[in-house]
Structures are given as C-alpha cells and as structure tokens.
Structure 1
Amino acid sequence: MPERCAWAGPEPIYIAYHDTEWGVPEHDGRALWEKLVLDGFQAGLSWITILKKRDNFRSAFRGFDPAVIAEWGENEVRRLLADPGIIRHRGKIEATITNARAFLEIEAKDGFSPFLWRYVEGQPLQPGYATQAEVPPETALSKQVSKDLKKAGFRFCGPTITYAFMEACGLVNDHLTTCHCHDRVAAMPGPGT
C-alpha cells in the first residue's frame, strides 16, 4: 500500500481525492473559484463532509456558474437553505453569491487564474514538509492572498481557508515528502511554464 499524507483516509472517496486531485495545479479560473467556495463552506467542518456533498453542491449551485449565481437573490438563498444535500448556512450561501460577483470582476479584468498564480510567480511552491506537524495552518502568503481577496469583495476566505485552498489547488505542494504523490505533483507545472 502506498504511503500517503496522514489526513488522507480511510474512506475511499478521501483517498481518491488525495491521490488524484489534491495538490494538482489548477489553472482554470472557474474551477479555482468553485474550490474556494467549497473551502469556505468547509469552515468549521471537516473536508470529508464537503467532499461527500460536492455533487449536491454542484447541482444546487447550477454547476458553480458564477454568471448565474451572481444574479441570485433572496429566493435562491431560501431555496438553498431548504436543500438538505448541502451545508445550509445563510452566511456561506450569501457569501457565495457575493463571491460570484467578485469573481466576475476579477475574471473580466485580469482573469481569476492569473490573479491567483501571480502570488507564486506562476509556479507551485515546494516547501518539502516531511511530517504533518510541519505543515502550517496558514502562512504570510495566505494572509496576503486572503487580504487581497477580501479587498476584491470576497467573503469566507480567511488565511486558514485560503491556505487550504492554495494546497488543494496546487499553488503550494504540501504533499509530504514521504507521500507517493509528492514527486508526481512536484513535477507538474504551474501556468507560468
């Protein structure tokens, strides 16, 4: 059995996510936005909870199409609050609508992917942690990204959420050096290549 990061398991859905998605550099702006929204919904919960409901989220939020979500109002908020397939938290739902509007502004100006990848100069950071205890919950960079996202109008994107997002989307490769995914992910290019 291959060695994995300590958090990955034991459920098959969690192992598959770790082995195929987590840490892989994401270059698509809309996919980055979806992951940021889902990380915001995770606040106070475990990622496995979100992962198990991800398909429900995608359905409820119309495929995470920001142009559609940006037009939503109270009727859609009430519909989502009644949906048992997602996390029914008014603040997080309203933040998703607000974040869709902020995303569209950044996307029109610079592109959301270039906006994020410039923080790491287009290449994933490679800290090379050997143990989970070494991996920080946030960094000076995640604090800056969080601050800039908030300035652009985003909500539910504090430094810890932002760092988890950066790990998940491959802006930083936090697969442990002992993990079978580390070297494969380290060899994957960012959009600056």
Structure 2
Amino acid sequence: MTYSNKEINRLTPTNEDTVGPYYPPSLCENNNSLDMTNIRSGIVFKPLGEKITIKGCVKDIDGKLSNGCLLEFWQPNSQGFYYRPDTESHEMVDPWFTGYARHRTKDGNFSLTTIKPGVADGRAPNITVTLFSDGIMRLVTQLFFADEKSNSDDPLLLSIPEELRERLMINKVAHNEYEIEIIMAGNNETPFFDDLLS
C-alpha cells in the first residue's frame, strides 16, 4: 500500500530554541511568575520577613540585553532556611514561601519580588541564580546584598578576588528596592561557579 504525503501524519518540528521552556504548563501554577511572596492565587497568607523587589537585567558579551534567557532563582527564607522536599516539616520552614521562581525574559530585564533572605549556615544572605540561554548550557551564580555586614565572612565571596566581588552585589536603590546587572561573558563577566550548591 502506498501513501501520499497528504495521508501521512507528520509531527510538527521541535522548536529551534535550545533553552525551551520544555516543561508542561501544569508544572507550577505561576511558572513564569517572579513573585515569590505569592505562591498560589487565592492564598491570603504571606511569608514572614522583609518584602523586597530586585530589578535586574541579563546582558551578553556585547553588552546587549539577552532576550529569551531562562532564569531560575532559589533562596532561603527570612530565617536562612531552605525549603526542600526533605525539610517540608521542619519548624524553620515558612509554609508560605518556597524560595523558588522561574522566569523566561522577553527582553533581558526582570523584576523579582521576594523576601530578603536570612543568614544561612555561616553564609551571608544570598540568592542563587541559574541561567539558561542560547549557546550556553547552564551558568550558576550567587548574588549578595551590598548592604550586608556578613559579606565580609562569607566563604564563597572570600574565595574570589576582591575586584570580582562587586559583580555579585545587589545594590539598594530605594526602600526595599534593589538592582543588579548580570553579564554572561566578556571583560565584565559576572563570576559563575561550577556545580554550585548553596
């Protein structure tokens, strides 16, 4: 039996974009939301701690905004405790704060609403950021708050040259508002770390 081209079921080609996102929309309710203080619509309870907004941008080697970049943020709660499957019932877990957000930028800019993280196991307050973009597999860094005294004792910050530490700093620009610029490559590249586990 022969088939014509019209009779054959053809699959649509896979998207050319190497980054995706290739996860089902049902993976999480707000899978492109950058508001960590509102984990589900309709929930009136809010997480403990100081609510802040971090505005930032991701730039490529030429200093241009990196459109289509997929960002993942992970951080401890206001007490410095991480929410993980193995810590769900721990007394220091804030049930209204998962500390996780995922966002695909349209133009390289982002605005993250979260709770300022607390000090965690000898670490200064920080937010782990993972970036996925065309031409790169995965970049991981940690961002720190420039106004934190505990930065001077953080083992990760102390492990890199002093002149590079400034590139990891989230700077306060107004009450509860911060800014950061993440540069993926080039002379002013943000320091990235292999297999970083906060």
Under TM normalisation by the shorter chain, which class is it? under 0.3
Of Structure 1 and Structure 2, which has the larger fraction of its residues in helix?
Answer: 1
Of Structure 1 and Structure 2, which has the larger fraction of its residues in strand?
Answer: 2
- Tell me: higher relative CO, structure 1 or 2? Use CA pairs within 8 A at least 6 residues apart: 1
TM-score by length of 1: 0.23
TM-score by length of 2: 0.22
